[in-house]
Amino acid sequence: MSLRESLPQVKTELPGPKAKAVLERRAAIVPAAISTIYPLVIERAEGAMIEDPDGNVFLDWVGGVGVMNVGYSQPEVVEAVREQAGKFFHSMMNITANPRYIEFAEAIAKASPVKGDPVQVMLANSGAEADENAVKIARSATGRPNIIVFSGAFHGRTALTMTMTAKKAYSIGMGPFPDGVYRAEFPYLYRAPGGLDGDDAIAYYVNKLEEVFENASPPQHVAAIVFEPVQGEGGFVPAPLEWVKAVRAICDKHGILLVADEVQTGFARSGRLFSSDYYKEGGFPVDIVTFAKSVAGGLPLSGVICAKEVMDRVTKGTIGGTFNGNAVSCAAALAVLKKMQDEDYPAKALAIADTCMARFNAWKEKYPAIGDVRGLGAMMGVEYIKPEGGAAKTPNPELVGKIVAAAWKKGLILESAGTYGNVIRFLCPLCVTDAQLAAGLDIYEACIEESL
Ligand SMILES: Cc1ncc(COP(=O)(O)O)c(C=O)c1O
C-alpha cells in the first residue's frame, strides 16, 4: 500500500534510532529559541501521511500548521514545480515580468472575496510579510497612521506583526515595538463575560471595539481593523458573522479598511476558498485579504488582495521585495488552486467537518473535561477545562499536553493552540481518506480516555 493510502503505524520506540541521530544534530546547530513540540523527523510525506526515517507512519492533523491543505506531494503540484524549475526559478518583478506571477494573480483575482472590482494582487513570501504589507497598503491608501487588532490575535514574528500579535510569549525581550497598534477584545463567545450570549454578546464586543476610538485612537486616525476569521494560535475561535457585519458597518461609517488575515483560514480550510467568501455571500465583504501557508502546497508564497482603486492610492516604490512571487512557488500555487477547484476541496472540508463535529460533540457530552467544540469548516478546535467543569471553565493545558503526547506515540500528530494552551486544533490535509480520518478519531478518543 502506498504511503498516501496507509494508516498510522508505529513500529519502534519513539523517537526511533535514526530519528534520534537527526535530533541530536538539530540540537547542536538549530537555535533552541526555534522551539519544537515533537521529537519527530520527516523522511517523506504523501497526502495526509508522514513517514519518519525509522519507517514509522503518522497521520498528520497539523499539516505544518495549516500549510498542507492540498496534501503532501500531490503529483500535479510536484509536476508543476518540476516543469517550472526546468525553465527558470527567479525573476525580480521590478526588473523582468514573471508570467507565473501574472497567471497566478489573475487566477486568484477571479476567486477574490474582497469588496471592489477589479482587484489587484501583491505577492510576497510569508504570512507576516503579507500582513505587514496589508497594513502598509492601508496606511498609504488612507493616509492614516493607526491600526486596530484583537486579543488572541496572531499575525507573525516581524517587528510590526509581533506587535500586532496578542500573546506576549512570542515577543519577550524584543522591544521597542512600533507605535500605532491598538487592541480591542475579540469575540471569544465561550468566554464572554458574565456568560453573555447571542445578540447581547455581540453588542458587548462591538461596544468594546468602539471604546478603542475613545480610549486610544479616534476613528479618523485608524487606517485598518485587522482580524482573523477564525483565530488560529488564539484557540480556533471563529469570528461570529453578526460581529463581522457590525465591524464592517463601523469601518464604512469611519472610512476604515477592514482586513481579514486569512493566512491560516484560507485555501479551502473553512469550507470556502476563503473564509471571507462567507462575508461576501452575506453582503458585507472585507476590503483586504491576506493569504499564505497553504497557497503553494508547501513552497513559500503569500499575498494581499484588494481593490485596484485602493492599490492605486499606494505610493510607488513603497511595497515589493526581491523574492516576491517566486516563479516556482507561483507554478505550485497555480497547480494547488486548479486541484482545489477541480476536486472541490471546500466541499471536502465541509464533509470532514461533519464527520469530526459529530464525534467531537458526542465527546463533549461524554467527557466533562471538554468545555467547547467549535470551528468553521475543517478548522476545528476542542477546548479542554478542569474536571470540575461548569461555570469556572478553568483551562486544562496539562490534559491537552498528555493527549498530544499520547497521540503521537500511537501515530497521530496533534497540536495545542490557544491563549491558555488548552485547545487541540484540527488542520489535517483535506485529502485525508475516510479510513485515515476514522483511524485518527479513534486514536484521539483512546488518548482522551487514557489521559483523563
Ligand atoms: C493568522 C496568521 N497570520 C500570520 C501568520 C504568520 O505567518 P508566517 O509564519 O508565514 O509569517 C500566521 C502563522 O501561523 C497565522 O496563523
| pLDDT per residue rounded down to tens, the chain (452 residues) | 899 999 999 999 999 999 999 999 999 999 999 988 889 999 999 999 999 999 999 999 999 999 999 999 999 999 999 999 999 999 888 888 999 999 999 999 999 999 999 999 999 999 999 999 999 999 999 999 999 999 999 999 999 999 999 988 889 999 999 999 999 999 999 999 998 999 999 999 999 999 999 999 999 999 999 999 999 999 999 999 999 999 999 999 999 999 999 999 999 999 999 999 999 999 999 999 999 999 999 999 999 999 999 999 999 999 999 999 999 999 999 999 999 999 999 999 999 999 999 999 999 999 999 999 999 999 999 999 997 756 789 999 999 999 999 999 999 999 999 999 999 999 999 999 999 999 999 999 999 999 99
Instruction: Tell which atom from ligand 1 comes closest to the C-alpha of 157.
Output: 11
- CA 129 to ligand 1 center in whole angstroms: 9
Q: Ligand 1 test: best mutation among 230, 262, 293, most atoms within 8 Å of CB?
A: 293
Q: What are phi and psi of 187, to 5 degrees?
A: -70, 80
C-alpha 118 – ligand 1 centre gap (Å)? 27
Ligand 1 center from residue 442 Cα (angstroms)? 30
Q: Which residues sit with their C-beta closer than 6 Å to ligand 1?
A: 65, 126-128, 131, 154-156, 228, 232-233, 261, 263-264, 292
Amino acid present at 222: V
For residue 263, report the distance from its CA to the centre of ligand 1, in Å.
6
Q: Which among 268, 284, 305 is positioned nearest to 109, based on CA atoms?
A: 305
- The predicted model scores a pTM of 0.97
For a mutational test of ligand 1's pocket, the pick from 264, 267, 301, 415, i.e. the residue with the most ligand atoms closer than 8 A to its C-beta, is 264
Q: Which ligand 1 atom sits closest to the C-alpha of 300? A: 10
* Cα 193–Cα 197–Cα 200 angle in degrees, nearest 5: 90
Distances (CA, A) of 439 to 9, 61, 62, 170: 11, 12, 15, 34
Distance (Å, rounded) from C-alpha 95 to C-alpha 305? Answer: 22
CA separation for the pair 210, 251 (Å, rounded): 11
Nearest protein Cα to ligand 1, atom 7 = 127
List, in order of start, the domains of the chain with CATH numbers.
3-60+344-451 (3.90.1150.10), 78-342 (3.40.640.10)
Identify the residue whose cell numbers are 526555534.
34
Please give the grid coordinates belonging to residue 376: 468553521
Rounded to the nearest angstrom, the distance between the alpha carbon of 131 and the centre of ligand 1 is 8
**Cis upstream peptide for 118 (omega within 30°):** yes
CA distance 435 to 215: 53
Euclidean distance between CA atoms 341 and 347, whole angstroms: 10
Phi, psi (degrees; rounded to nearest 5) at 254: -110, 5
Q: How far is the CA of 48 from the centre of ligand 1 (A)?
A: 21
